[in-house]
């Protein structure tokens, strides 16, 4: 079985995210990192491989992004992927969710995976839905927010929380699954794995290499068009107490609650 | 014709509240565009009167399709068929989870534009423009559609329910074919309630706990504080701790849990993710205790305490008890 894991490079959690007013796109300068949610997808792939219920020949990390996204792939490899594929092309820059999912599906098609794993959300895009788009293009069944996944020869038994409680769904392979962050506790990469990551095969492909129709990708061709960005309605900032002396802090909280007749 | 197709999720004989909101919103927007809102329901033997009842929320028609419930891909097939037959310009979904998956799948199928987490929609020059908060709600983007069909997925509780004494919706059967991949998923069990059946919806004071409580036993701190408040108080939780099995699903607040608006919402060890915020942001007073000064919850709390809950909660519990005794 071959598992592809979709990973994304995102601004580091400590970097303030903002919009570049001249392009209307996200300002992607500043420190970047592998999307933390994607480490759960890599870990899920590793656990299938190590679990031994089915033989896993290969785990391939796949990303779409600028030059710098290579570092996210190195990180993915240090966490266990055997090799990686980088779709990078000016033509796909600025793609919306639907176009990104299409481009990733084209890239995955070449790999013919038995299972595609994703994270529950990207830290910057926050769409939760790339998996559903990819699955539709690949003609595969899919489920998002999966927190338990048992593999049984030709199918997966998946659990996830939906609107009315927990659902258990059987999904036949090949399939596209986005995993929730409760599915596992990702491991830390070993120093050796970090050092070795750059030596693992990394295949850089263009839009043409994976037969992406250029009229379907990129900011100008995306069907959802950003027309403006504005600031949210401003809300009076709340009061903040830094806890130094806890007795004093508690006294202040009680007074605050008492003033509002909450005790 | 600028008709709008609205997905209506139903379960256990009732329509989901967020779907009622979406139908109401769809009807309002369709009227502004000079068209109609139609609802679509899919399931095994969907009750006719349930479908017809959507007329009260403004749906002129209710399309009923037969298929497996609780899964997204059958609805992608059904909605794609309805759109091919009926010339809809927009597809609209209320907040939740299934709607996200269906809407995104439909966007892929139709080559349509999609916006999710939409908090408001307006009609302008015969088109709809969707507002979507981005970057942890620090900015709002406005989205228009270049495609023949535009897909709008609402944020939880974004669309208000508006009910009137309107006529029943005309119920029509929709026949469609399940695509091969849609038949590769089978629901084994649905809607399992994990943990005790606690009732938190009527509480005036909610002490909510998150991953910052450290372990299941950490919830004792929250329970003791709730007890100290006494009266009509209860303990709530985030998805992170419910998924981890630390607290019952029935106590979960947020996108796939409950929506509450108590007099006081005291959050301890909760980061304030958007999916949690949408279930509690209309609380009258929000107090947050978090050791990380940059936690998003401080952006929408009335009183924020930067500190360790393990130090603060026990003393706060004693202080509340003392105050009540006084
Ligand atoms: C489709 C979808 C649906 C979702 N639905 C829901 C939903 O219904 N409800 C929901 O809640 N979430 C939901 N989520 C998950 C949500 O995105 C967050 O992951 C979740 O709310 C985080 O829970 P948390 O705040 O407990 O954990 P974390 O985000 O891990 O936050 C823990 C916080 O505790 C603080 N902390 C740690 N130790 C201490 C200490 N000693 N003292 C004080 N503070 C401390 C940390 O600083 C941190 O801010 C959903 C996600 C998706 C993608
Ligand atoms: N540009 C990208 N390249 C590879 N994978 C991506 C990309 N964008 C999103 N993903 C994957 O899709 C998941 C969900 O992202 P999103 O739908 O943007 O919230 C992420 O956790 C990644 O696994």
Q: Is the pLDDT of residue A112 over 70?
A: yes
B148-163, pLDDT tens digit by residue?
Answer: 999 999 999 999 999 9
Helix (H) or strand (E) holding A105: helix A97-109
Tokens linked to A101: 């999912």
Q: How far is the CA of B218 from the centre of ligand 2 (A)?
A: 33
pTM of the model: 0.96
Beta strand pairing call for A58-64 and B303-306 = unpaired
Average pLDDT, integer, range B94-122:
97
φ, ψ of residue B287 in degrees (nearest 5):
-115, 130
**Region A214-243 average pLDDT:** 91
- Residue B224: what pLDDT? 98
Residues 6+ positions from B64 with CB-CB distance below 8 Å: B40, B41, B42, B46, B48, B51, B171, B172, B173, B174
CB proximity list for B180: less than 8 A, separation 6 or greater: A139
How far apart are the CA of A119 and the centre of ligand 2, in A?
7
B91 contacts in A (CB within 8 Å)? none
pLDDT at residue A118 in the model: 98
B18 DSSP assignment = H
**pLDDT level of residue B95 (50, 70, 90 thresholds):** very high
Block residue for tokens 């509690």: B280
* The pLDDT value given to residue B30: 97
Q: What is the pLDDT of residues B189-230, one digit of tens each?
A: 999 999 999 999 999 999 999 999 999 999 999 999 999 999
State the Cα–Cα distance between residues B291 and B319, nearest whole angstrom: 20
d(CA B101, CA A176): 12
Q: What is the pLDDT of residue A234?
A: 81
Residue A6 CA to ligand 2 center (angstroms) comes to 6
Q: What pLDDT shows up at residue B16? A: 98
B207 CA from centroid of ligand 1 (Å)? 15
Contacts of A249 in chain B (CB under 8 A): 305, 307, 312
Of B270, B265, B267, give the one whose Cα is nearest residue B284: B265
Pocket residue to mutate for ligand 1, from B94, B207, B239, B274, most atoms within 8 A of Cβ: B239
Work out how many CB contacts closer than 8 A connect A with B.
272
Query: pLDDT digits over B14-32, tens only?
Result: 999 999 999 999 999 999 9
All residues of chain A having their beta carbon less than 8 Å from the beta carbon of residue B184 are 140-141, 171-172, 175
Joined together, the tokens standing for residue B237 give 């939780």
**Is residue A102 within 8 Å of residue A133, measured between CB atoms?**
yes
More confident residue, B316 or A152: B316
pLDDT of A16 > 80? The answer is no
Closest approach of A166 to chain B, Cα-based (Å): 5
> pLDDT class for A236, splitting at 50, 70, 90?
confident
Query: By the 8 A CB rule, do A77 and A190 touch?
Result: no
Task: Determine the distance in angstroms separating the CA of A134 from the nearest CA of chain B, rounded to an integer.
Answer: 8
Residue A213: is its pLDDT beyond 90?
yes
Predicted confidence (pLDDT) per residue in B277-321, tens digit: 999 999 999 999 999 999 999 999 999 999 999 999 999 999 999
pLDDT-based confidence at B49, cuts 50/70/90? very high
**Best mutation site among B116, B200, B270 for ligand 1 pocket (most ligand atoms within 8 Å of CB):** B270
Cβ partners under 8 Å of residue A14, min gap 6: A31
What pLDDT is recorded for position A28?
62
Across all residues in chain B, what is the average pLDDT? 97
Closest residue CA from atom 51 of ligand 1: B275
Q: What is the arithmetic mean of pLDDT over A163-185?
A: 98
In A, minimum Cα distance to B180 occurs at A139
Predicted pLDDT of residue A13: 77
């Amino acid at each position: 079985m071959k598992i592809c894991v979709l990973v994304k490079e995102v601004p580091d959690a400590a970097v303030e995210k903002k919009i570049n007013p001249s392009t209307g796109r996200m300002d992607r300068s500043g420190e970047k990192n592998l999307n933390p949610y994607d480490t759960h997808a890599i870990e899920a792939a590793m656990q299938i491989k190590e679990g031994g219920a089915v033989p896993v020949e290969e785990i391939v990390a796949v990303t779409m992004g600028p030059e710098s996204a290579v570092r996210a792939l190195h990180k993915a490899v240090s966490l266990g992927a055997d090799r990686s594929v980088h779709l990078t092309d000016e033509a796909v820059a600025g793609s919306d969710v639907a176009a990104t999912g299409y481009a990733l599906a084209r890239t995955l098609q070449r790999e013919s995976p038995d299972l595609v794993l994703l994270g529950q959300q990207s830290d910057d895009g926050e769409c939760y839905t790339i998996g559903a788009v990819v699955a539709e293009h690949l003609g595969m069944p899919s489920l998002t927010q999966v927190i338990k996944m048992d593999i049984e020869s030709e199918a997966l038994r998946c659990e996830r929380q939906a609107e009315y409680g927990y659902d258990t769904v059987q999904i036949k392979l090949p399939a596209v699954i986005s995993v929730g962050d409760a599915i596992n506790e990702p491991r830390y990469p070993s120093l050796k794995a970090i050092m070795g990551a750059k030596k693992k095969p990394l295949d850089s492909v263009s839009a043409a290499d994976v037969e992406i129709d250029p009229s379907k990708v990129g900011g100008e061709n995306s069907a959802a068009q950003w027309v403006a960005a504005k600031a949210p309605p401003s809300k009076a900032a709340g009061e903040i107490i830094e806890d130094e002396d806890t007795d004093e802090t508690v006294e202040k909280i009680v007074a605050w609650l008492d003033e509002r007749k909450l005790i | 014709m600028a008709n709008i197709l609205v997905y209506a999720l139903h379960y256990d004989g009732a329509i989901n509240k967020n779907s009622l909101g979406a139908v109401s919103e769809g009807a309002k927007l369709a009227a502004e565009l000079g068209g109609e809102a139609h609802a679509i329901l899919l399931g095994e033997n969907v009750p006719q009167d349930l479908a017809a009842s959507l007329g009260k929320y403004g749906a002129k028609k209710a399309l009923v399709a037969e298929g497996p419930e609780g899964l997204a891909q059958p609805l992608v097939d059904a909605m794609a068929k309805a759109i091919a037959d009926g010339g809809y310009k927009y597809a609209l979904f209320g907040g939740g989870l299934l709607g996200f998956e269906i809407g995104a799948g439909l966007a892929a199928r139709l080559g349509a534009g999609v916006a999710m987490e939409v908090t408001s929609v307006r009609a302008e020059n015969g088109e709809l423009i969707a507002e979507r908060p981005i970057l942890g709600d620090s900015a709002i983007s406005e989205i228009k559609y270049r495609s023949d069909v535009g897909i709008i997925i609402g944020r939880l509780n974004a669309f208000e329910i508006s009910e009137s004494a309107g006529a029943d919706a005309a119920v029509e059967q929709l026949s469609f074919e399940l695509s091969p991949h849609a038949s590769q998923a089978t629901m084994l069990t649905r809607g399992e309630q994990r943990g005790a059946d606690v009732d938190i919806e009527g509480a005036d004071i909610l002490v909510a706990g998150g991953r910052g409580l450290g372990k299941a036993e950490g919830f004792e701190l929250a329970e003791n504080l709730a007890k100290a408040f006494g009266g009509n108080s209860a303990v709530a939780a985030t998805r992170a701790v419910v998924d981890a099995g630390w607290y019952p699903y029935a106590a979960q607040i947020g996108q796939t849990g409950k929506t509450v608006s108590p007099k006081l919402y005291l959050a301890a060890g909760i980061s304030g993710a958007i999916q949690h915020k949408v279930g509690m942001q209309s609380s009258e007073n929000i107090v947050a205790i978090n050791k990380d000064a940059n936690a998003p919850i401080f952006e929408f709390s009335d009183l924020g305490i930067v500190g360790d809950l393990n130090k603060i909660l026990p003393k706060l519990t004693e202080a509340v008890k003392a105050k009540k005794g006084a």
